Structure 1
Amino acid sequence: MSTAPRPLPGWVEIGLMPLVNVALAFLLVGLIVELIGADPLQALKLLVLGAVGSSESIGYTLYYATNFIFTGLAVAVAFHAGLFNIGGEGQAYIGGLGCGLAVLALDRYLPGLLTIPLAILASAAFGAAWAAIPAWMQAWRGSHIVITTIMFNFVASALMVYMMVNVLIAPGSMTPQSRGFEASAAVPSMQAALQWFGIAVARSPLNLSLLLALLSSAGVWIFLWHTPWGYGLRTMGHNPEAALYAGTNLKRMTMLAMCLSGALAGGVAVNELLGVHHRLVLDFAAGYGFTGIAVALMGRGHPLGIVLAALLFGALQQGGAELAFEVPAITREMVVVIQGLVILFSGALVHLPRPWLQALFARKG
């Protein structure tokens, strides 16, 4: 008589299984690299050195990871409520519109200590407002959240193009971008911040938005696992009927989850616009909203796992660019294939190593 396999320990589910999935993805990548005539070990060495081989490389890796943390958290909050929000790209975009409007209206009149917090709040508010529309359609009209959120990505893109070309473009500019923000409205770079403590590092786009991303991770953890609202949200995601029986208002909880999700996605604008570009530009979201889905899946929806997964994808983004530069046989498209395989093994094939791990831990037990 067969018995059901025992569940894996929590540390295996959250920590070991994602590492096994990544290892399987890199084994397949190694075979592909071998087939195109490159040395897999040399490619791996260049990838690692490109991601963490210098203070500049580490800065770029952490800069990319900051965006992935924001979008990964955005996906995870909605997912815990049983909602698949794939509109992080559009929510980040509209969050950027709110951030840019706030700075353009205030940076010439208020000091940076007031302008920056107000711009952060505006990015969160605009991102939340954009997510609230499909949330309302899901809660009160029965529209499918996946369809509405993905369609709103295109609406957000079209709206931003109109605003940048016809309304917010800098006078006399041929490029669809706003005037530059005042220097006081810039989030300090990590290089400048570390210099306050006598630590010298190479220049990179990394800025103090990383701290905001880490604080957001801690806030999401506290909210989901240590507040009654977070408990109600997770209960709705696991069993809506039980949540309704317990007195949870599912419509309001849907709105809460999606608004929090959109607000977190708006954090991308803080990193990109206040920390790097110092003006409102087109296409600053650059696909971070979609990669955030993979980050949330690999991190198992837990803030700590999301931070670790964001670091991995940040390393792939930066190390892959260096790898494509150093090895002509490995093009930028090949780097996208590497990222895609990691996403494949972390998403669609996430449970592939589960039977092996269950058999291994059953033997140990």
Structure 2
Amino acid sequence: MDTFKKIFVKSSVGIPLAAIVLGLLFGAIVMLAGGYDPILAYTSLVQMLFGSPYDIGEAIRAITPLIFTGLAVAFAFRTGLFNIGVEGQFMMGMTGATLVGVGLELPWYLHAPLAVITGALFGGIWAGIAGYLKAKRGVNEVISSIMLNWIALFLSNFIVAKFLVQQGQQKTPDVHDSARLSMDWLVGLMGNARMHWGTFVAIICVVVFYVLLWRTKQGFELRAVGHNPDAALYAGMNVKGTLVKSMFISGIFAGLGGVFEILGVFGYQTVMAATWGYGFDGIAVALLGGNTPVGVLLGAILFGGLSYGSAGMNFGADVPQEIVRIVIGSVIFFVASHGIVKFFLKPFLSKRAEKRKEAV
């Protein structure tokens, strides 16, 4: 009994697992109420995720940008900031990579790294604007960063339409092959799924996140300023500079997500009618992961896997997209609501404990 309680109530693994089960059960109830077969729906979801090498590869591709945006949000959270402008930083990363990928012709060993660095810097600088306004003018980063999302959208569209767009089209030419970062050798093995090096870079960023924040002096200062700016100032830390630095690093993570969507997936940039949504999904991923690097990775796998696999529920079980979103939302709700999950588990555990006492 003690082992069971330790696993399912006190464990950081057991609670999320129980939350996923509760979310799926609630989703099944919703589907039954709508007259749909939940078993067929969930079977179709699993088949969509693991039915073929192509599906596995595309699921990984869908998960990758969520890792970047989740890390961006989580990093800012850990340093006391709410970076709700990840969406704009993601788009600026795309634009920076496109400018270099389309506008320059260089050897591959210079072209691809320069495109990646430029896109990352575009994202970092865009986030740094919100950090500067917070540090120098006291502007709340939530307000400034969310407004910068729309400025990023229209600025990106202006740059593409004015300098890069193909004649008579709403997109840029393809980036040069020397800047492409798709993994051609793996694409063939995965049924032509759009696999790219960004997935490996995302895993590296998870490690960098942890090392930077918890294993360096700079990381200690970033966390200290986030926990208590007044105490950090009293200790002699540069609070204003640290705020800008925190947002800049957060923006780099977001910008990298945009970079690899261009260089690894699409190979060109369009005049966008709306934002992509990866930045806002990154907020959910960060919250699901408890703002920890490994948690963000697992949260991105859950969120991205459900989002990609949900198409199988629609096609395989004829479940309407509206109900599919309810199912996904219910899983995320229970995963994010640890207190509710414990509330459901504790009565069961109490009864088990009472029966054990009676038996003794």
Q: Same fold (TM over 0.5)?
A: yes
Q: Deviations over 1:247-306 (max 9, x none)?
A: 222211111110011110011222210011111224496211111111111111111111
Distance 1:125 1:152 in 2: 16
Identity of aligned residues (%): 35
Within the candidate set 134, 148, 171, 1:138 is matched to 134
Distance 1:62 1:56 in 2: 10
1:166 is displaced (CA, Å) by 2.9
Q: Is the 8 A contact 2:187 2:193 kept in 1?
A: no
Distance 2:126 2:338 in 1: 31
Q: Deviations over 1:13-47 (max 9, x none)?
A: 64332223222222211111111111111111111
Residue 43 (structure 2) aligns with: 45
Within the candidate set 114, 117, 120, 2:113 is matched to 117
Instruction: Confirm or deny that 1:186 pairs with 2:180.
Output: yes
Instruction: Confirm or deny that 1:319 pairs with 2:319.
Output: no
Residue 308 (structure 1) aligns with: 298
Q: Is the 8 A contact 2:182 2:195 kept in 1?
A: no
Residue 5 (structure 1) aligns with: none
Residue 4 (structure 1) aligns with: none
Amino acid at match of 1:270: V
Q: Deviations over 1:117-162 (max 9, x none)?
A: 1111011100011001111111111111111111111111121222
1:80 is displaced (CA, Å) by 0.2
Tell me the matched-pair count.
345
Residue 83 (structure 1) aligns with: 81
Instruction: Confirm or deny that 1:151 pairs with 2:141.
Output: no
1:240 is displaced (CA, Å) by 2.7
Within the candidate set 28, 31, 35, 1:30 is matched to 28
TM-score of the aligned structures, taking structure 2 as reference length: 0.89
CA 1:304–1:123: 2 relative to 1, 3 Å: same
Amino acid at match of 1:351: G
Distance 2:25 2:302 in 1: 16
CA 1:299–1:105: 2 relative to 1, 3 Å: same
- Within a 5 Å distance, the mapping from 1:1-365 to structure 2 comes to 12=10, 14-106=12-104, 108=105, 110-170=106-166, 172-174=167-169, 176-189=170-183, 192-193=185-186, 200-283=189-272, 286-328=276-318, 330-347=319-336, 349-355=337-343
SS of alignment partner, residue 351 of structure 1:
helix
SS of alignment partner, residue 280 of structure 1:
coil
Provide the aligned C-alpha RMSD in A: 2.4
Unaligned residue ranges in structure 2 (runs of 5+): 1-5
Amino acid at match of 2:130: P
SS of alignment partner, residue 13 of structure 2:
helix
CA 1:260–1:340: 2 relative to 1, 3 Å: same
Q: Is the 8 A contact 2:182 2:194 kept in 1?
A: no
Instruction: Return the structure number with greater helix share.
Output: 2
Unaligned residue ranges in structure 1 (runs of 5+): 1-7
TM-score of the aligned structures, taking structure 1 as reference length: 0.88
Distance 2:259 2:161 in 1: 22
